[in-house]
Amino acid sequence: MTTILGTVAIIALLWTALSALPAGLEARMPLPYMIALTPLLWVPLVVLAAFAAWQREWSVMSLLIVAALFASSHRLNYWGTSIDPAGKRKESHRETPRETSANTQNINNSSNTDTTVTVSSSTIDANRETSRETYVNTHNISDPNAGPSAAASSSGTASTSREALDAASNLSSKASESTRTTLPTQFTVMTLNCRYGRADANDIIANIRKRGISVLALQEVTDELIARLTEAGLNELLPYHQFGEAKDTDNGGFNVLYSAYEPGASVPNVVSIPAADVPAITLRIADQAKMPPASTSTNGTTIRIAANPSTTTQAHPDRTITFCSAHPKSPMRGCADWSAGILGLREITKARSIAHHNIAVVMGDLNSSTDHPSFRALLKSGFKDASLTQAAGPNLTFPRWLKWPRIELDHVLFTPGVRPSQVKSFEIKDTDHLALVATLALR
């Protein structure tokens, strides 16, 4: 019996060690699925440890408990606890230098003259004339130099994707008397995988109303779902949107963003990954409300980018938040593409504008958790996870039809500049994922 229990403990330790592989090396079947199940190993291990104690096998019992702790190590972080205190301290101090460095980085952005970018009205939604557009009025503005066709190209390089994000993040929306042109200092976002477009549209709308959602990210969307959402009144609640381009290679459907606030810019694909397009919208935030109106011309809209922003992070007159809806492929659709999709999202944090003073928020079904090395590499690139940062426990999102066991595959990620709260998962009818909401407050 001692030999059997000891062997089980060693196998469990080797299993948990898979989470320590370098990012990308876990992209081989069945490793992604084994790693995803690692947080659940503590249950049988604790049972076996209790049995070992009953047999007075104290050394084996201790080994089983150690294995259970290691299996739970990443999930313990969701309560602000870690069995690796040194690693936790390192992570907790990583954000501060990034935020404070924004002041010195902005020196490179300073000049004595303003830069003016003109967006022709003919470029507005030039590439969005699809059948689903007959249901929804759009107000998107795309940069002509890094617009939809460039960003959506499957052969686009990482630098091209970063240029698209830089263009989107640095554009300010046209002046308006409407109070819907700037995002408030605190707002709520929601993300949901719609399971091949089958999600209940009325349930989605009810939760948008109930929870006061300002920005909605949907994955696995179909034209039929867009029609049902429109009929249910989504456009009255969130009148602005950006869709990813639908392709035959999409993993379950295309990705969508809806907003209650008018975007200053948007692109259908901000970073090229081997999965559905990653649409992005850029919103101005409330501290821009005192900006003078942008000038306009008869040929289009002139958008002025601030040339010498303030030296404090919160006081940039042109500060923006760029929201992205992402859905890397599942390992079942190809392990290499699965890992490459997750790691590819790191390019968003490398955008010059994000590094300077703006914020990026990535929402979606990322088909990974903190146990996966590829996902942890994504966090190390500059993102924070809302659920992890809140430190009130995990918000498990898959599968919906089981109360236990569940894993956390859906995430709200953000670069420094916001603080999350009220992060919570909840059920939506007719889909296999739980929805995830988070309230984000500007720092």
| Domain ranges (residues) in the chain | 2-71, 95-442
Distance CA 46, CA 143 (A): 56
Q: What is the mean pLDDT of residues 361-373?
A: 97
pLDDT in tens, 168-195: 555 543 333 345 888 999 999 999 999 9
Q: Which of 155-169, 205-219, 229-243, 280-294 has the lowest mean pLDDT?
A: 155-169
Distance CA 369, CA 75 (A): 9
Of 339 and 154, the structure prediction assigns the larger pLDDT to 339
The answer to whether the bond into 399 is cis (omega within 30° of 0) is: yes
- Return the SS3 of 48: helix
List all residues 6 or more positions away from 159 whose beta carbon is below 8 Å from its beta carbon. Answer: none
Percentage, residues of the chain above pLDDT 90? 58
pLDDT at residue 112 above 50? no
**Across the strands, what pairs with 413?**
362, 385
Q: Which of 423, 168, 416 is nearest to 303 (CA)?
A: 168
Task: Find where tokens 């959506």 sit.
Answer: 152
Q: What is the mean pLDDT of residues 8-33?
A: 94
* Contact indicator for 425, 438 with CB cutoff of 8 Å: no
Please state which of the four CATH numbers 3.90.1010.10, 3.40.50.1470, 3.40.50.720, 3.60.10.10 is assigned to the domain occupying 95-442.
Answer: 3.60.10.10
pLDDT confidence of residue 266? 94
pLDDT band of residue 160 (cuts 50, 70, 90) is low
Percentage, residues of the chain above pLDDT 70? 70
Buried b (16+ CB within 10 A) or exposed e, 240-265: bbbbbbbeeebbbbbbbbbbbbbbbb
pLDDT at residue 167 above 80? no
pLDDT confidence of residue 107? 28
pLDDT confidence of residue 24? 95
Half-sphere exposure of 136 (CA within 13 A, CB side): 34
pLDDT confidence of residue 443? 83
pLDDT in tens, 228-240: 999 999 999 999 9
